[in-house]
Amino acid sequence: MTYCVGLLLNEGMVLLADTRTNAGFDNISIYRKLYTFEEPGERVIAIMTAGSLSVTQTTLAKLREAIEDDDATPETSIMLALTMLKVAEIVGARLAEVRAEVDQKLSAMQGASASLIVAGQRRGEGMRLFLIYPEGNFIEATEDTPFLQIGEHKYGKPILDRVVKPATSLADAQKAVLLSMDSTLRSNLSVGMPLDLVVIERDSCKVCFRRRIEAGDPGFRRMSEAWSAALRDGFAHISI
């Protein structure tokens, strides 16, 4: 299990992912789930992954292989695609293709599944944020729904519903996704540190801020403790 969240705001995009992967209660590993591809000033693409590790890693490997192919075209490479919509289509097609291949190999077992969040911007085009389903189809974030989540999302959704709007600042957005993750970490042991945080400012077409938050990070711990105290204080002052 995992938890990844992406915000699409007027000022830019904020992305956060955990790194815990479970293969049973006694086999817990750390794998990066947030990947970025950049041609600074021209395009930036970020992909977050949840689900079967074999499906997500193979999908990312195929996407990289297409990028490095000397015969790559705008129809096959996310770094040559003419729009972010085409990027989402390429990623969705690769995900569906890999999932079908893995399902066939694991036909005697429960089928493998995975989902992705794709975010980015190409120069001259607006920022876009997509959630790609295991079948390869996708939905897009809008002004009415300016955030998307994959993985264990239910614990971290309430704070996002209450505070995240398109006009939310990038600073407040970072606080919101970190508190959303904190709620998830407290309620589900299958989500864990370290965390990867990425900020992409509007029209920069590059990653403007990147941070790896390790277990025991003092800043994250202070934020978590302050949020817990604020919730307890608010609860104590509410009457019925």
pLDDT 10s digits, 93-129: 999 999 988 877 766 445 678 999 999 999 999 999 9
- pTM of the predicted protein model: 0.94
Residue 62 has pLDDT above 80, yes or no: yes
pLDDT confidence band for 189 (50 / 70 / 90): confident
How far does Cα 46 stand from its chain's mean position?
8
Residue 23 has pLDDT above 50, yes or no: no
The pLDDT tens digits for 125-159 are 999 999 999 999 999 999 999 999 999 999 999 99
pLDDT of residue 190: 81
> Which residues are within 8 A (CB) of 66 and not within 5 positions of it... i.e. 6 or more apart?
72, 76, 77, 78, 90, 94
The pLDDT tens digits for 30-61 are 899 999 999 999 999 999 999 989 899 999 99
> Which residues are within 8 A (CB) of 95 and not within 5 positions of it... i.e. 6 or more apart?
55, 59, 114, 116, 132, 134, 136
